[in-house]
Structure 1
Amino acid sequence: MTKEVNIDWSNLSFSYMKTDLRYISKWKDGKWDDGQLVEDNKLSISEASTALHYGQQCFEGLKAYRTKENKIQLFRPDENAKRMQRSCDTLLMPKFPVERFVDACKQVVKANEAYVPPYGTGATLYLRPFMIGVGDNVGVKPAPEYIFCLFCVPVGPYFKGGMTPVNFIISENFDRAAPYGTGGVKVGGNYAASLVAHKNAVDKGFADCIYLDPKTHTKIEEVGAANFFGITHDNKFITPISDSILPSITKYSLLHIAKEYLNMETIEGDVYIDEIDQFKEAGACGTAAVITPIGGIQHKDKLHVFYSETEVGPITKKLYDTLYGIQFGDVKAPEGWIFEVE
């Protein structure tokens, strides 16, 4: 008999909730153990762990979706596994195998099936895999041991209001990442560096800030913790490219959808802040946000409004509906994008 949980699915926020089981595997003496599901949501680690002192840690974010037929599916978890491996390479951490990563996702979703929100509520089951360097280590060097863990939590929209336009402000005084730094991988330090800039933006009445390229401060890089895209007046889908941008799985999915489903020309290239009037629509995209329409961008003393501050542009809506449909099983997915949890 399936467990029942008392949750108001339609009013979930994007916040933590303890679920029943999470997956944990430990690396020691050059190899990963077999891994297991555990009830305890607390980790016990050495006070000298490199994750605590030197930021040797990385993480991922992906979701599980319940379809109209009550099946549960994952969206491109193998791509999250590969991206985590790239993060591990950058931080000299042992890579967790792609097949084991995907299997761990399936195990956690299956073990917490009661927390997968019903179809039609707009809510999803968010999965957070992460790896930390642990063990007794005071010097600045890679840790002697590592923990890979994966937990899940049911969530609602990342931005309140869901698929409604919000305004952003350009961050003039803070960079998200350094040139040749860790901006292209998913490590905690990138997010710690964004906290003050995010608070400043919210205090001014904006959803978040937009970061410009750290070298010249002339090109859009990221929208808070999400990727940027714009729709030009001649219907081209353009998104920034840079070594200091996290390669969003959602963004690359949208590039494919725009080209193959909507027959649009797609471009990864420089997006200069002084040339944003080329766009009739704009948005932020990522696993947590999915697509958040950008109503306007405040740059210096001017608010540049795209399609509308209150209504979603038609192409952004089509992109969202197609991606959302694929994730929830209502639109046929490209081969290899969907992994069913059985």
Structure 2
Amino acid sequence: MSKKVNIDWENLGFDYIKTDYRYVSRWKDGKWDEGKLVEDNKLSISEASTALHYGQQCFEGLKAYRTKDGKIQLFRPDQNAKRLNKSCKRLLMPEIPEEKFIDACIQVVKANEHYVPPYGTGATLYIRPFVIGVGDNVGVKPAPEYLFCVFCVPVGPYFKGGLTPVNFTVSDYDRAAPEGTGGVKVGGNYAASLLPHELAVKKGFADCIYLDPSTHTKIEEVGAANFFGITKDDKFVTPKSPSILPSITKYSLMHVAKEYLGMEVEERDVYIDKLDEFKEAGACGTAAVITPIGGIEYKGDLHVFYSETEVGPVTKKLYDTLTGIQFGDVEAPEGWIVEVK
């Protein structure tokens, strides 16, 4: 390792830590420049930037993992590149060529290699690519210029001391409109979720469950994560809807369930009044991989799945297999791992 950093790897949270380098590329006159690594973590942008006024911005989240033999690997960065471009398209922002996206992530990880936590700590290097509309613009229209940036932060495991089930409550609020931006990773979806999240926490829950905005009968998302349930006959079931963000972790778990654990997989409607079809349930996303769901409160009743204190065996197996792939302990499907050399 090129340089030592004074970090207590075992006790890292999910907080911002300034690392040494980040990547910045500017889109102007119809094209992206080459992009470069910079040390300054402050952006200087016009007060009239569309990102500030009209929400013309999107982002991604992925991680770099250190393996047992000291290598560093990225998990499915091509999928993050594709999803970022889907978000850019939706907001009329220029797309980032896939090779440029992956190269930017690799450059940032290499330049901050000493911040990649050691194998065995459960900690990882979280990578945050984002695109924002900048430049002088007052009318409601796409920006004249854009910035594509990537920074990274070492983060601890989401659950200290192993997976712990948490409870959720169903929200009356919607996180996205039926034909809105729910299926892309834009800041507005997260801004809309801040108040319902706070209300859920005040009631003693980890976060809230959002139902489909059209009928309020089907589960869509769990906080900022995707829902899955394990049926009594061992099927892996996850909701399908155009207003759900397509989680890379979820699609990876679907593959793991089918190909590694031999389970049937269904992407379909999940009705809030039919929770008893599931013996286990969880939320999945980049940060926690899987958050086991102990119970869901709906209309004053708490429906408990496997247990409020212990993680179910299928959920545990899914978690162990996917994190095993990410940290290089389980053989990955072809194309899932990009080594940072």
Secondary structure of the residue that 2:92 maps to in structure 1?
coil
Amino acid at match of 1:251: K
Q: Distance in 2 between matches of 1:157 and 1:113?
A: 18
Amino acid at match of 2:304: V
Match of residue 67 from structure 2? 67
Structure 1 contact 307–313 (Cα < 8 Å) conserved? yes
Match of residue 190 from structure 2? 191
Q: Distance in 1 between matches of 2:289 and 2:52?
A: 30
Measured after TM superposition, the shift of residue 163 of structure 1 is 1.4
Match of residue 107 from structure 2? 107
Measured after TM superposition, the shift of residue 288 of structure 1 is 1.0
Match of residue 265 from structure 1? 264
Amino acid at match of 2:15: S
Amino acid at match of 2:241: S
Match of residue 7 from structure 1? 7
Measured after TM superposition, the shift of residue 136 of structure 1 is 0.2
What is the TM-score with the length of structure 1 in the denominator? 0.99
Q: Distance in 2 between matches of 1:62 and 1:161?
A: 22
Question: Equivalences for 1:82-101 in 2 at 5 Å?
Answer: 82-101=82-101
Match of residue 149 from structure 1? 149
Q: Distance in 1 between matches of 2:336 and 2:39?
A: 30
Measured after TM superposition, the shift of residue 160 of structure 1 is 6.2
1:93-149: CA deviations, max 9, x gaps? Answer: 000110010011100000000110000101100000000000000000000000000
Secondary structure of the residue that 2:308 maps to in structure 1?
coil
Match of residue 274 from structure 1? 273
Q: Distance in 2 between matches of 1:219 and 1:161?
A: 33
1:162-192: CA deviations, max 9, x gaps? Answer: 51101111002x1010010000000000000
Question: Equivalences for 1:1-342 in 2 at 5 Å?
Answer: 2-158=2-158, 163-172=163-172, 174-342=173-341
Secondary structure of the residue that 2:43 maps to in structure 1?
coil
Secondary structure of the residue that 1:194 maps to in structure 2?
helix
Measured after TM superposition, the shift of residue 157 of structure 1 is 3.2
1:225-260: CA deviations, max 9, x gaps? Answer: 000000000000000000000000000000000000
Q: Distance in 2 between matches of 1:137 and 1:64?
A: 36
Q: Distance in 2 between matches of 1:66 and 1:108?
A: 15
Secondary structure of the residue that 1:193 maps to in structure 2?
helix
Which residues of structure 1 form unaligned runs of 5+?
A: none
Q: When the two structures are aligned, how many residues end up with a matched partner?
A: 341
1:57-84: CA deviations, max 9, x gaps? Answer: 0000000000000000000001000000
Q: Distance in 2 between matches of 1:244 and 1:158?
A: 26
Q: Distance in 2 between matches of 1:95 and 1:8?
A: 38
The percent of aligned pairs where both chains have the same amino acid is: 81
Measured after TM superposition, the shift of residue 289 of structure 1 is 1.8
Structure 1 contact 157–289 (Cα < 8 Å) conserved? yes
1:275-328: CA deviations, max 9, x gaps? Answer: 011000000000112101001111111111100111110000000000000000
Measured after TM superposition, the shift of residue 27 of structure 1 is 0.3
Deviates further, 292-301 or 326-335: 292-301
Q: Distance in 2 between matches of 1:84 and 1:215?
A: 26
Q: Distance in 1 between matches of 2:309 and 2:103?
A: 42
Amino acid at match of 2:293: I
Amino acid at match of 1:100: K
Amino acid at match of 1:178: A
Structure 1 contact 226–289 (Cα < 8 Å) conserved? no
What is the TM-score with the length of structure 2 in the denominator? 0.99
Cα pair distance change 1:76/1:270, threshold 3 Å: same
Measured after TM superposition, the shift of residue 2 of structure 1 is 1.4
Q: Distance in 2 between matches of 1:161 and 1:29?
A: 51
Q: Distance in 1 between matches of 2:64 and 2:137?
A: 36
Q: Distance in 2 between matches of 1:160 and 1:147?
A: 36
RMSD: 0.9
Deviates further, 154-163 or 109-118: 154-163
